[in-house]
């Protein structure tokens, strides 16, 4: 009977790993290093939090959960390092398309195709849940509020590989939800920890029963103590107040190799056949015909590899390439029917998949090789796969990088620094790598155009213009010319660009119930012969942001920075979608920090609130990309951690609408005047689209019109009855 890798690990759990405990009193020498897979960590925490997802997300509550868990881990002697997914590689595009359809578009279509009664049930919401789109931004905001400096990274390639490499240099564990982490073997890597194995330890309790048979208090009292037990609080929610430590289970790759009678180095080949890389890289027809039936059979595949390694028929050791070919021939069904070209393709793909699990041993020891340069925590500059480093001409070492004094190089260095700090989305790096962009889809109506087109595309076009102009106008400066030099002096010192400006970007946008590649051709006249906006000062970049968002007005510019992005996004939504004045007032209140919760109970079946929520989230997401490209993380604060979908739906269901109640918020009146400035034509009391819908509804409910029938016996009898 075949057995998948997760099932195999659970079945032989005690033989493949061991339990660990870390107490609050842990000293520095006994601390553990945890490398957390950031994407798995966010998904797991959201699922465990039981927060409602269908309203658009409760990001303030989620940020508190993230900070509570990380503070609890630190108090128990565990130092955490978060690694988030990097850019989408060209080889992963098909896998990303399938993942987006399965996790974002599919549940959205199911939600809108299900009756209002059925989709309100708890079972339906649990089975078709979607991760709200701003959870990552809320997590980053939570990291900034911690009492200690929690390291964060973005993988520059495969996330699993980056996590293991980082753990090997820290002599630590990797915690996540991907069982393929057991296939990596390298010095310093302590093992894979499933997130669901983390448990908080509560104080030990004793059941004491006093024997009162002897009434003489001078005599000894017999105390029967119950068996000691160490209760645990299951799950990785914030720890209870009486928590004294944490326990976790770690799988060790060396034990897995021993259990399967394989050398540790052969786990990479086992991972090539059992992991997800093979199904993504191999042509579908070859994979289904020859390997799909073995994908969930750990023992059989391991036995084939063991037989190929321990065969006594050979006189000399086999090379790795020949070994892989022998394993392929054994696993395939009727390999003689396979053409030589397909056989070579299959072998080449499996070799590449095997190398994905092979990590070079660090030369200077695990703890001494972290941050070999200021620009990459793991690799030297000449071997770092991060594409941003390759955009600086003539950069092969850190010393050569220091010699660059151009605004172009300084801007690239600022992007690299922002990327490692979590202030530059991998979606932006996709533009540098393969010219793709992947907007997030959340609960969109499949019968309507995607909000990422109606609301988001205009903002993304500004991003493409900015980057296109930037690459067309490299400005290598003389050493004495600085960032504050006049524009004329900068232009005099400019040279011809050696990079071509991107002319096309492929956006992956929802069309109906599928994800489609939409090429966006950038016109040549969008680039202006002036200093790129990225190389200008902070105030100029801030003005560009507000102009691009249609919000460069005196009232908006005078707002507090915590309200600036909210108002700019709401102004953009009002100008690109159909909103009424009361709807904009209520949505603004729900998005502002410090809003008081009031209104009616959230109504899940309010289609208007669902659509407006998708539009607001699309505006927040794309405005955040524009903010990152313009390097404005400190001048414009992201508003994700203040948004509450339940609050928005409650206000939209508020029957006794009273504007005076909104004025109780300290900044609402100021923000509303800034939002409505110059938008009177957009903020109609009753939008034209809704009038049409109401008209159609009234037409259907009007009395039916009598249609004259042809003369017949029945009509004649009817006429006689009326006359009588």
Mean pLDDT over each residue of the chain, to the nearest integer: 79
d(C-alpha 278, C-alpha 287), whole Å: 8
Between 295 and 186, residue with greater pLDDT: 186
Q: Could you tell me where the beta strands, DSSP code E, fall in 137-241? A: 151-154, 173-176, 192-194, 199-201, 208-210, 223-225, 232-234
CB 132 within 8 A of CB 620: no
* For residue 468, pLDDT beyond 70: yes
Identify the residue whose tokens are 């000691």.
228
pLDDT at 316: 59
139-149 pLDDT per residue, tens: 999 998 998 88
β-bridge pairing 436-437 and 245-251 = unpaired
Length of the chain, please?
724
State residue 394's pLDDT score. Answer: 56
What pLDDT is recorded for position 285?
60
| Mean pLDDT of the region 674-698 | 62
- Residue 701 CB-density burial (10 A; 0-12 exposed, 13-18 middle, 19+ buried): exposed
Q: What is the pLDDT of residues 228-275, one digit of tens each?
A: 445 665 566 788 777 888 999 999 999 999 999 999 989 998 888 887
CA distance 343 to 349: 10
Contact at 8 Å (CB) between 193 and 367? no
Helix runs in 368-507, H state only: 398-402, 407-420, 426-433, 451-454, 457-472, 487-492
Q: How many C-beta atoms lie closer than 10 Å to residue 689's C-beta?
A: 10
Out of 11-20, 28-37, 83-92, 522-531, least confident range: 522-531
Is the pLDDT assigned to residue 487 strictly greater than 70? no
pLDDT in tens, 44-61: 999 998 899 999 999 999
**626 vs 90, more confident:** 626
Which has the closest alpha carbon to 351: 450, 282, 286?
282
Residue 2: pLDDT band (50, 70, 90) is low
For residue 484, pLDDT beyond 90: no
Question: Residue 605: what pLDDT?
Answer: 75
**The pLDDT of residue 79:** 92
CA dist., res. 623 & res. 328, Å (int): 49
Per-residue model confidence as pLDDT tens digits over 188-234: 899 999 999 999 988 876 443 444 445 454 444 444 444 444 566 55
**Residue 449 CB contacts under 8 Å (≥ 6 apart), including other chains:** none
Q: What pTM was estimated for this model as a whole?
A: 0.84
Tens digits of per-residue pLDDT, 383-419? 788 877 777 665 555 555 554 456 777 888 889 889 9
46: tokens are 């959201």
469 or 177, higher pLDDT: 177
Among 6-10, 243-247, 683-687, which is the least confidently predicted range?
Answer: 683-687
Tens-digit pLDDT profile for residues 115-130: 988 998 999 999 999 9
pLDDT for the residue 459: 95
Q: How confident is the model at residue 343 (pLDDT cuts 50, 70, 90)?
A: confident
Predicted confidence at residue 207, as pLDDT, reads 40
> What is the C-alpha separation between 530 and 508, in angstroms, rounded?
31
In SS3 terms, 644-709 reads as: EHHHHHHHHCCCCCCHHHHCCCCCHHHHHHHHHCCCCCCCECCCHHHHHHHHHHHHHHCCCCCCCC
Asked whether the predicted pLDDT for residue 366 surpasses 50, the reply is no
Taking the C-alpha atoms of residue 568 and residue 576, their distance in angstroms, rounded to an integer, is 13
- Whether the predicted pLDDT of 367 surpasses 50: no
Q: First-to-last CA distance in the chain?
A: 84
Comparing 1 with 282, which gets the higher pLDDT? Answer: 282
Average pLDDT on 689-716 reads 42
Percent of the chain with pLDDT over 90: 37
Q: Can you tell me the mean pLDDT for 461-476?
A: 75
Reduce the DSSP state of residue 628 to 3 states and report it.
Answer: helix
Q: Are 298 and 274 in contact (CB under 8 A)?
A: yes
- Token pair in block for residue 713: 């016996």
Selected residue with higher pLDDT from 363 and 173:
173
pLDDT of residue 233: 57
For residue 96, the surrounding DSSP H or E stretch is helix 93-100
Greater pLDDT, 167 or 236: 167
- Where on the phi/psi map is residue 594: left (φ > 0), alpha (ψ -120 to 50), or beta? left
Mean pLDDT in residue range 350-365: 74
User: How high is the pLDDT of residue 473?
Assistant: 58
Residue 286's pLDDT is what?
64
Instruction: Kindly report the number of other CB atoms within 10 A of residue 476's CB atom.
Output: 16
Q: Is the pLDDT of residue 704 over 50?
A: no
Query: 573, 539, 531: which is closest to 557 by C-alpha?
Result: 539
């Amino acid at each position: 009977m075949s057995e998948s890798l997760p099932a195999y690990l659970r079945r032989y759990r005690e033989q493949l790993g061991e339990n660990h405990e870390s107490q609050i009193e842990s000293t520095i020498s006994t601390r553990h290093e945890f490398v957390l897979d950031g994407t798995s960590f966010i998904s797991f925490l959201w699922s465990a939090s039981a927060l409602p997802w269908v309203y658009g997300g409760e990001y303030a509550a989620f940020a508190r959960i993230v900070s509570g868990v990380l503070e609890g881990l630190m108090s128990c002697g565990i130092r955490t390092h978060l690694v988030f997914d990097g850019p989408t590689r060209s080889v992963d595009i098909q896998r990303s398309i399938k993942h987006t359809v399965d996790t974002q578009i599919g549940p959205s279509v199911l939600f809108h195709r299900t009756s209002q009664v059925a989709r309100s049930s708890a079972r339906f919401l649990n089975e078709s849940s979607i991760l709200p789109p701003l959870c990552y931004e809320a997590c980053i905001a939570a990291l900034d509020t911690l009492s200690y400096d929690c390291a964060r990274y973005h993988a520059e390639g495969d996330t699993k590989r980056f996590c293991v490499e980082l753990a090997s240099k820290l002599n630590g564990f990797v915690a996540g939800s991907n069982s393929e982490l057991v296939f990596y073997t390298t010095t310093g890597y302590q093992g894979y920890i499933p997130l669901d194995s983390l448990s908080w330890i509560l104080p030990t309790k004793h059941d004491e029963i006093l024997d009162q048979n002897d009434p003489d208090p001078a005599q000894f009292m017999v105390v029967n103590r119950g068996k000691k037990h160490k209760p645990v609080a299951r799950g990785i929610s914030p720890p209870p107040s009486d928590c004294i430590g944490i326990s976790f289970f770690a799988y060790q790759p060396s034990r897995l190799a021993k259990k399967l009678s394989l050398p540790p180095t052969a786990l990479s080949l086992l991972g090539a056949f059992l992991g997800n890389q093979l199904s993504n890289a191999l042509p579908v027809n070859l994979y289904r015909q020859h390997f799909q039936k073995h994908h969930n059979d750990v023992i059989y595949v391991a036995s084939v590899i063991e037989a190929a390694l321990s065969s006594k028929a050979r006189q000399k050791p086999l090379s790795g390439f020949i070994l892989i070919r022998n394993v392929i021939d054994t696993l395939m069904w009727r390999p003689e029917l396979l053409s030589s070209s397909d056989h070579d393709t299959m072998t080449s793909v499996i070799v590449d998949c095997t190398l994905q699990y092979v990590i070079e041993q660090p030369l200077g020891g695990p703890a001494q090789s972290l941050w070999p340069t200021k620009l990459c925590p793991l690799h030297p500059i000449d071997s770092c796969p991060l594409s941003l480093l390759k955009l600086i001409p003539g950069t092969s070492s850190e010393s050569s990088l220091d010699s660059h004094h151009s605004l172009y190089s300084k801007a690239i260095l600022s992007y690299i620094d922002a990327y490692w700090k979590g202030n530059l989305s991998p979606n932006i790096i996709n533009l540098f790598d393969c010219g793709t962009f992947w907007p997030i889809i959340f609960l969109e109506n499949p019968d309507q155009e995607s909000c990422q087109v109606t609301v988001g595309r205009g903002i993304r076009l500004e991003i493409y213009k900015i980057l296109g102009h930037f690459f067309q106008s490299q400005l290598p400066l003389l050493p004495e010319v600085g960032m504050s030099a006049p524009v004329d002096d900068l232009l005099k010192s400019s040279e011809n660009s050696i990079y071509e400006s991107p002319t096309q970007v492929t956006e992956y946008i929802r069309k109906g119930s599928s994800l489609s590649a939409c090429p966006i051709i950038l016109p040549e006249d969008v680039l202006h012969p002036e200093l790129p906006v990225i190389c200008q000062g902070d105030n100029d970049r801030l003005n560009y942001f507000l102009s691009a968002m249609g919000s460069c007005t005196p009232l908006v510019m005078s707002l507090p920075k915590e309200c600036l992005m909210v108002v700019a996004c709401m102004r953009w939504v009002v100008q690109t979608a159909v909103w009424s004045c009361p709807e904009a007032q209520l949505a603004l209140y729900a998005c502002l920090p410090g809003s008081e919760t009031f209104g009616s109970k959230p109504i899940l079946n309010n289609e208007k609130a669902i659509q407006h929520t998708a539009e607001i989230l699309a505006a927040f997401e794309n405005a955040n990309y524009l903010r990152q490209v313009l390097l404005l993380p400190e001048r414009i604060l992201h508003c994700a951690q203040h948004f509450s979908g339940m609050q928005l739906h409650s206000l939209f269901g508020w029957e006794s609408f009273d504007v005076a109640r909104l004025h109780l918020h300290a900044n609402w009146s100021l923000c509303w005047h800034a939002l409505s400035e110059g938008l009177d034509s957009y903020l109609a009391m009753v939008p034209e689209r809704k009038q049409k819908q109401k008209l159609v509804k009234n037409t259907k409910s009007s009395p039916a019109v009598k249609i004259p029938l042809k003369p017949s016996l029945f009509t004649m009898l009817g006429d006689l009855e009326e006359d009588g």
